[in-house]
Amino acid sequence: MAIKASVEEIEEDYGTFDAADFAASALSSAASLAAVIDHTLLKPEATRPQVIQLCKEAAEHHFACAMVNPVWVSVAVKELCGTGVPVGVVLGFPLGASLTSTKRQEAQALVKLGAHDLDMVLSVGLLKSGNLSAIERDIRAVAEVAHDNGAILKVILETCLLTVEEKLRASEVAINAGTDFLKTSTGFSTSGATVADVAILRGVAGARCGVKASGGIRTLEDTKAMLEAGANRIGASAGVKILQELFG
């Protein structure tokens, strides 16, 4: 697969995303900022009361979604019914090393339960083995399930484990396979989102799909930096705190 020579060349081919304008709009009010934050609770030890509290906060502030582990989707769907806030869920998480058939079946089960945002982990091992066709099939299998059921797909690249060339290749493959967002990180590997990685993903995406920055975003300053780098979705467990920082 050919790699574009530069971000400028990519943007010329695929349109541009005005990160500065988007960031200014998102940071203009608490409501605008909440609308781009996936309010997240993915700790393995998370309890039912904690998930319910997450959903109450998501409904109160009208976050982009409440992001939970698969076991809590039914609870979250019930709690958020009638609020207009969708349920997000991770799959193939956190390693991305499940069989494609397993990921597809998981996606089918999750959308049936009512999940709207599916955040899928890319198979890093396949990428590093150079098997791009297998990665594309893996992602497309889940993208088809998502789109056939009115859901959206975000593909987690786990950028901290990738070279620059791998980030470029993975981004292009994911877009070709039908992802709605490129996402930086699970938050469970060696590090999380960086400004540089968000810029790389946006450079490949142009205006073709969204970019979600996730992993280690804990402050308003972190959020602002990611938005200005090209993210149009933020994954964070500190969403309420970030909103409180916006206007003191």
Own/partner pairs for 236-240, CB < 8 Å, 24+ apart? 236/37, 236/38, 236/39, 236/40, 237/39, 237/40, 237/41, 237/42, 239/34, 239/37, 239/38, 239/39, 239/40, 239/57, 239/61, 239/63, 240/39, 240/57, 240/61
4 is catalytic: no
Res 84 pLDDT > 90: yes
Q: What is the pLDDT of residues 220-237, one digit of tens each?
A: 999 999 999 999 999 999
| pLDDT (0 to 100) of residue 15 | 80
Residue 13: half-sphere exposure toward Cβ, Cα within 13 Å: 12
Question: Are 20 and 27 a contacting pair, CB within 8 Å?
Answer: no
Kindly report the average pLDDT of the chain as a whole number. Answer: 95
Residue-level pLDDT at 247: 81
- Least confident range from 6-10, 79-83, 206-210, 241-245: namely 6-10
Clarify whether 212 is annotated catalytic: yes
Please tell me the predicted confidence (pLDDT) of residue 13. Answer: 63
> What's the CA gap between 180 and 186, in Å, rounded?
17
Q: For residue 34, give the 3-state DSSP assignment.
A: helix
Rounded average pLDDT over 9-34: 87
Instruction: Answer for the pair 25, 31: CB distance below 8 angstroms, yes or no.
Output: no
**Residue 1: pLDDT above 50?**
no
Q: Residue 3: pLDDT above 70? A: no
For the stretch 86-124, pLDDT in tens is 999 999 999 999 999 999 999 999 999 999 999 999 999
Q: Which entry of 117, 154, 183, 197 is annotated as an active-site residue?
A: 183
Instruction: State residue 6's pLDDT score.
Output: 45
Query: Would you say the C-alpha torsion 139, 141, 144, 145 has a positive or negative sign?
Result: negative
| Block residue for tokens 């010329």 | 12
pLDDT tens digits along 27-83? 999 999 999 999 999 999 999 999 999 999 999 999 999 999 999 999 999 999 999
Residue 161 pLDDT > 70, yes or no?
yes
For the chain, domains (ranges, CATH) are 7-246 (3.20.20.70)
**Residue 119 annotated in active site:** yes
| 240 has a pLDDT exceeding 90 | yes
- Which is catalytic among the residues 117, 119, 138, 222? 119
Specify the pLDDT at position 11: 47
pLDDT of 170-198, one tens digit each? 999 999 999 999 999 999 999 999 999 99
